[in-house]
Structures are given as structure tokens and as C-alpha cells.
Structure 1
């Protein structure tokens, strides 16, 4: 019988990284931790490096050795192990969605909170279908119309995390006002509908929207946009930084500067109440 080679998912990578961090925090060596749970050292090494699958019960055993007793943390990591090979809905779009993008959608699907600083576009979780099609088409002018439509569908499908019945995503979006002034010559109503979509989303108790005004004081966000993704339990935060060279993921201590930056960016932006007033004013400016 031929065995299929193990192909790690992004969940496997994050689980392995988290277990390694917890072991280090517990002051245990790889050999000591493996011995404590009755394993050979190579097995734990493979798990930490996402080269071998780990069962939820094995995760529970490791957490016991590491002294992790918080029920939320234990449950979160058990679920991560259980879902590591789960096929997400986004796999249906793998012909048009890059591996880096599927990695982010996977993070988004499991996240508890996301803070997104978006200086150029309305965040994907708040986009209308028309706005998504227009901006995707503009950014990738050589992309065939059918792929543009598929990518727009992906952005719409992602928004389901905001209305999950069991654990809706806590979403904090800080958007630069410049991103709210776009005009679309072929469909002049696109931006007005988009602004109304933001106002509607802001009524959800789990969605917070702030606008960075055009006349804001200097702040860390002038360097560029990012998304700070937080998870339940002891799973480390992840930061996504996008640029022309590709997506960059940061974890662990490397995310701390972004937590501080998000707080300073929020302080430089309009208050939530004033932000909604500004969005309403801009929407009225798009009236024909």
C-alpha cells in the first residue's frame, strides 16, 4: 500500500510554531518534552516543524507537560490540530487564488480578532461585490474577466466571518479617507453603494470602523498597511504585510510593534462617531 506524502497546511505550521513556543516558555528541551510524553525526540521535532501530523489528544498531552491549563487555550489548540487538514471553502477557488491568499483566508477563518489598517482600499471584509470587481480589475488589468469575477466572489464569501452565529469575528478597520474618495467612471454609483455598505457593517456590534482624515497628524501607518490577526487561547498573533514583492507573515515577538502601531494609528484617526459622520458626508457627496 502506497502512503501519500504528508503535505503540511498553514494550520500545521502555526500549530508547530505554537507548540515550540510553549515548550520554550516551559523551559524544556526537545528531548525532555518528548521523554515526558513517552515519545522519541524525532517525533516531536517533526511536529514542531510541521513535518508530521499531530492528533488533538497528543496536543493535550503536550500542553499538560508544558503546564498549559487554561481551558480556552487547550480547546483552541486541540481544534487547530483537529482542523489542520480540513478543506476550507476557499479550496474551490484554488485555480485563481494564490497559496499566500489561501493562507490568509485560513487565518481569517480561525481568527478571534483582526485589526486592519488600510490606507489605499476599503478592507476586503467590507467591500461590495461591485467595488471588489472594479478594484481587482484595476489592480490586475491582464486578469481575465472570469477570474476577476471569481476573486470578487472570494471577497464576498470571506465576509461570512462577520456574522458567524457561534463566534463572529471582532473586526476593527481603520481606513484612510483617501480610499473613500475613489470614483468609478463607468459605474458612478459604486462608491456610494460601498460607503453605505461600510455604514451598514458598522452597525454590527463586532465591527468597529475609524477613518484617518486627510489632515491627520503623522503616525506609524504612513509606512504602509497591515492586518493584525489574533486567535483564541495561546495561539500567537500573526501580522500580514502586503507589498509588491509578495505577502510577508510575522509571528510571535515580531508582531508587538504592530500592536503598538495600531493603537497609535487609532489615536490619530477620527473617533468612531466622527468617522461615521465623515463616511455619511462622503456618501452624500456621491449623490447624483
Structure 2
């Protein structure tokens, strides 16, 4: 039984089943009972053991203390991100959070919708970004990261030229990791995809059935698509964007060139 089949039978979202199976969230006793019934588990001793485990397994995730400051839907993304083996970013606006320097991140929290954040919310999000970076950029189990950055991302000055230069040089250092691939989509590539907003494809060890897409809008509205009919269009779009972008080596050379221009 595939994850999608099981989720359909349980009338759950696929992301809920993924998070339960991955252990990134606790599971309610009623949900355990529903799963055991669906999977035809009849051993009384095993059923009792699993239900008992469910009662004590409601562990708080690492981001729990910051939950009040998270945008709606973002906590679900963090639960999925925790178990992803591959993250594919397209960013036409700003450097992805896990690749940001502290100074660059602070500049993003000063403008746009972020101006409505309180000091506590800004502090909480800064801490959350740092913790994500530690989890996703360090350790043997870190995911593979493939990011396509529009040239506008590299040209848009964050705070001041020095801050932006440091950010670009930071990207060059990160790209020394064999699990991190950076590609630049130059202005000369023209209009490549009908999907023009930022998105992240999350890839899981279970294969294509478990893939998900995280989409965010300029109004801080987040959506996660995890059905098989929702993911392929973004897979296709990412492929077109990656093909139209400079290759990784040329991309790093271009990032270095832009950094050198920021005197």
C-alpha cells in the first residue's frame, strides 16, 4: 500500500501520514487505531503496545517554542523538511533563508511585510533560521540542496553593498559542499517558466510518492502540495529553470563577478 493510497483511505493529507511515519510529530491514539484497522493488524498484544507508545510519544518538535511566531502553514513545512533528503529551491526574490548570512537576514526582516513584525517575532525568526541552518547544512544526514537563483536575487542590494558582497561570498563558500548546487538564472535567459514565484520541492527517501512542494506568496501565505497531481508541474518547471540557468561552475564564477563589482 503506497503512502498516497493509505492517506486516501484514512481521509488524511499525505503530509500528515509522512510526518507520522517519519516520527517528526506525535500521533494520536485515535489515529493509531485507524491505521491499525486499515493495515489489518489484529494481534492484541501488538495493538496494546502501539497504543501505549502513542500515548507517550507526543514529543515537542525542535521549533515548538517558536510556534507562536511562525506564519500559518510553516510549521507543517518544517516537519516535512526535517525528513527530506533533497531540497530544490527556486528563488526569484531573495536568497533562501538557509543560505543567508546574519546581516542579510536582518535586512530582509526590515522591509516589506516584515516591517509589521514585532521585535520578539524578528528575534524568534532569526533564531529559527539559525537552527534550520545548523540542522540542514551540518552533519552526515544533511539533505542535498539544489538552488536556482534568479539574477535579480544577486543584484538586489540588501542593506548596503558590503552586506550583499559578504552574502555572495558566503554562497561561494557554501557551494564548496558537494551536496550544495547553486545555479544562476541570468536575465538573458528571458521568460523560462509560467511559475514565477518562489517554491521548494522536498524529496524523500520513499521516492516520488512522498515528494511535496512548498509555495509561498508575497503576502506570507504558504501552501503545501503533496498529491501526485500537484508535484509534477513544479518538477517540470524546476527542470526548465535549471536547464536555462548557467551550469554550476559558470554560476559560481558569475556570483564571484557580481560580488567583485560591489565595492
Whether the TM-score (by the shorter chain) exceeds 0.5 is yes
| Structure 1: gaps of 5 or more residues | 1-16, 25-29, 31-43, 65-80
SS in 1 for 2:109: helix
Q: Which TM-score applies when normalising by structure 2?
A: 0.77
Alignment partner of 1:212 is 2:181 = no
Residue of structure 2 in register with 1:280 after alignment: 256
Alpha-carbon distance in structure 2 between the residues aligned to 1:169 and 1:63: 34
RMSD: 3.3
Give the superposition deviation at 1:152: 1.8
Residue of structure 1 in register with 2:175 after alignment: 202
SS in 1 for 2:89: strand
1:232 aligned to 205, 220, 224, which one? Answer: 205
| Structure 1 ranges of 4+ moved more than 6 A | 45-51
8 Å contact kept, 2:149–2:183:
yes
Give the superposition deviation at 1:20: 4.7
Alignment partner of 1:100 is 2:73 = yes
Residue of structure 1 in register with 2:110 after alignment: 137
Trace 1:28-177 onto structure 2 (pairs within 5 A).
52-54=30-32, 58=36, 62=39, 85-139=58-112, 140-177=114-151
Distance 1:152 1:18, change over 3 A: farther
Alpha-carbon distance in structure 2 between the residues aligned to 1:152 and 1:128: 11
Give the superposition deviation at 1:105: 1.5
Deviation digits for residues 18-61 of structure 1 (CA, Å, limit 9, x no counterpart): 6452587xxxxx5xxxxxxxxxxxxx668998773339x959x9
Alpha-carbon distance in structure 2 between the residues aligned to 1:157 and 1:245: 21
Deviation digits for residues 112-146 of structure 1 (CA, Å, limit 9, x no counterpart): 11101000010111011111111022131122233
| Structure 2: gaps of 5 or more residues | 18-27, 42-53
8 Å contact kept, 1:116–1:174:
yes
Deviation digits for residues 160-184 of structure 1 (CA, Å, limit 9, x no counterpart): 2333434211110000111111224
Distance 1:238 1:85, change over 3 A: farther
Alpha-carbon distance in structure 1 between the residues aligned to 2:139 and 2:195: 36
Alpha-carbon distance in structure 1 between the residues aligned to 2:67 and 2:136: 23
Q: Which TM-score applies when normalising by structure 1?
A: 0.71
Deviation digits for residues 186-244 of structure 1 (CA, Å, limit 9, x no counterpart): x4421111111111111111110001111113211653221111111155111111112
Larger Rg over CA atoms: 1
8 Å contact kept, 1:212–1:269:
yes
Distance 1:184 1:208, change over 3 A: closer
Alignment partner of 1:250 is 2:225 = yes
Query: After alignment, is 98-107 or 129-138 more displaced?
Result: 98-107
